[in-house]
């Protein structure tokens, strides 16, 4: 999952939107920093996420206002 913008060689991590100027750096980031495993799981639909804010975002978009106050730990 790599997004590439045309002007200047910018590689963006599709998971966390960090920018890198080389593909290898981005790949290393995704492998070691961005989390090889999805650490956060939605308690409503069991979807997994790499970052906590992604889970929060998902719950807000997907499940609210259907449900009330999911507790995110
Ligand atoms: Zn990332
Ligand atoms: Zn969900």
Give Cα 6 to chain centroid, integer Å. Answer: 22
pLDDT tens track for 8-65: 668 998 888 889 999 999 988 888 777 656 788 899 998 988 789 999 999 999 988 6
- Domain residue limits, the chain: 2-33, 37-73
Q: Are 60 and 72 in contact (CB under 8 A)?
A: no
CA 14–ligand 2 middle distance (angstroms) = 19
Task: Looking at the CA of 57, name the nearest ligand.
Answer: 2
CA 12–ligand 2 middle distance (angstroms) = 25
Task: Looking at the CA of 66, name the nearest ligand.
Answer: 2
pTM assigned to the model? 0.42
pLDDT tens track for 1-23: 666 655 566 899 888 888 999 99
Q: Which residues surround ligand 2, an ion (CB under 5 A)?
A: 42, 44-45, 47
Give the pLDDT score at 70. 56
Give the pLDDT score at 58. 94
User: Residue 4 contacts by C-beta under 8 Å, 6 or more apart in sequence?
Assistant: 10, 11, 12
């Amino acid at each position: 999952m790599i997004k590439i913008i045309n002007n200047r060689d910018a590689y963006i991590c599709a998971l966390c939107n960090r920018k890198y100027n080389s593909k290898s750096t981005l790949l290393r980031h995704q492998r070691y920093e961005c989390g090889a495993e999805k650490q956060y799981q939605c308690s409503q639909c069991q979807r997994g996420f790499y970052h906590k804010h992604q889970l929060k975002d998902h719950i807000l978009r997907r499940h609210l206002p259907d449900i009330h106050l999911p507790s995110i730990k």
